[in-house]
Amino acid sequence: METLSDAAQYTLRFVNQTHRSVFLTGKAGTGKTTLLHEIIRTTHKNVVVVAPTGIAALNAGGVTIHSMFQLPFAGFIPDERAPQFSDFVKFETKATLRRHFKMSGLKKAVIRNMELLIIDEVSMLRADLLDAIDFMMQSVRQNSSPFGGVQVLFIGDLLQLPPVVKNQEWHTLRQFYKGKFFFHAHVIQRQPPLYIELSKIYRQSDDAFISILNNLRNNHITPDDIHVLNGYVRPDFDLKKHPGYIILTTHNAKADAINAQSLKDLDGQTFRYAPEIIGDFPEKIFPVDEQLQLKVGAQIMFIKNDLSFDKQFFNGKMGVVKSLSEAEIHVYFPEENKTIEVERYEWQNIRYKVNEATKEIEEEVLGTFTHFPIKLAWAITVHKSQGLTFDRAALDISNVFEAGQAYVALSRLRGLDGLVLLSSLQTNGISNDQGVMDYAQHKANDTQLAQSLQNDTRQFIHRFLAASFDWRQLAQQWRNHRFSYNQEALNSPKSKHAMWAIKNLEAVEGLLAPAGKFMVQLDKLFAAETPDFAFVAERVQAACDYFQKPLDDLVLTILWKLEEIKRTKKAKAFFEELLELEELQTKAMLQLFKARSLVNVVVAGGEISKENLQTSQMRDYRNQKIESVAAEFREKHAALLETDDDVERYVKKTKKEPKKNTILVTLELWHAQNTIKEIADIRKLTTQTIANHIGKLIQIKAINITEVFPQDKIDALAEAFEGYTEESLAGLKEQHGSRFTWDELKIFKASLEVPAS
Predicted confidence (pLDDT) per residue in 612-637, tens digit:
888 888 888 988 999 999 888 888 87
- Which residues partner with 292 through β-bridges? 273
Strand pairing report for 246-249 and 393-396: parallel
CA angle, residues 300, 303, 304, in degrees to nearest 5: 130
**C-alpha 207: how far from its chain's center?**
34
CA angle, residues 367, 369, 375, in degrees to nearest 5: 160
As a whole number of Å, the CA-based R_g of the chain is 30
Q: What are phi and psi for residue 486, nearest 5 degrees?
A: -65, -25
Query: Could you count the other beta carbons within 10 Å of the beta carbon of residue 236?
Result: 5
- Which residues partner with 390 through β-bridges? 413
At 172 the pLDDT is 87
At 659 the pLDDT is 46
CA angle, residues 412, 166, 60, in degrees to nearest 5: 40
Highest mean pLDDT (candidates 315-329, 388-402, 726-740)? 315-329
Q: In which order are the strands placed within the sheet that holds 194-198?
A: 63-64, 47-51, 116-119, 151-155, 22-26, 194-198
CA pair distance 318, 321, nearest whole angstrom: 10
**C-alpha 610: how far from its chain's center?**
17
Which residue from 289, 87, 76 is spatially nearest to 165, judged by alpha carbons?
76
At 303 the pLDDT is 87
Q: For residue 81, is pLDDT > 80?
A: no
Q: For residue 429, is pLDDT > 60?
A: no
Taking only the tens place, the pLDDT of each residue in 458-467 is 999 999 999 9
At 654 the pLDDT is 43
Of the candidate ranges 233-247, 418-432, 533-547, the one whose mean pLDDT is the lowest? 418-432
Q: Pick the residue with more confidence: 488 or 134?
A: 134
CA pair distance 467, 591, nearest whole angstrom: 8
CA pair distance 239, 389, nearest whole angstrom: 19
This model's pTM is above 0.85: no
Q: Are 456 and 20 in contact (CB under 8 A)?
A: yes
CA pair distance 716, 739, nearest whole angstrom: 10
Tell me the CA distances in angstroms from 339 to 310, 343, 378, 475, 707, one per residue in order.
13, 13, 20, 65, 30
Highest mean pLDDT (candidates 162-176, 536-550, 596-610, 630-644)? 536-550
At 595 the pLDDT is 94
Beta-carbon contacts of 589 under 8 Å, excluding residues fewer than 6 positions away, are: 548, 551, 552, 555, 621
**Average predicted confidence (pLDDT) for the chain:** 87
At 655 the pLDDT is 42
Which residue from 368, 320, 294 is spatially nearest to 662, judged by alpha carbons?
368
At 652 the pLDDT is 52
Judged by DSSP in three states, 688 sits in helix
Tell me the CA distances in angstroms from 212 to 222, 225, 440, one per residue in order.
9, 6, 18
Query: Could you count the other beta carbons within 10 Å of the beta carbon of residue 448?
Result: 13
DSSP label of 191? S
Q: Are 151 and 121 in contact (CB under 8 A)?
A: no
Taking only the tens place, the pLDDT of each residue in 294-331 is 999 999 999 888 877 677 888 888 999 999 998 899 99
At 443 the pLDDT is 86
**C-alpha 364: how far from its chain's center?**
12
Q: For residue 380, is pLDDT > 50?
A: yes
- Mean per-residue pLDDT, 331-341: 92
Taking only the tens place, the pLDDT of each residue in 519-562 is 999 999 999 988 999 999 999 999 999 999 999 999 999 999 99
Amino acid at site 413: L
Q: For residue 202, is pLDDT > 70?
A: no
Q: For residue 405, is pLDDT > 60?
A: yes
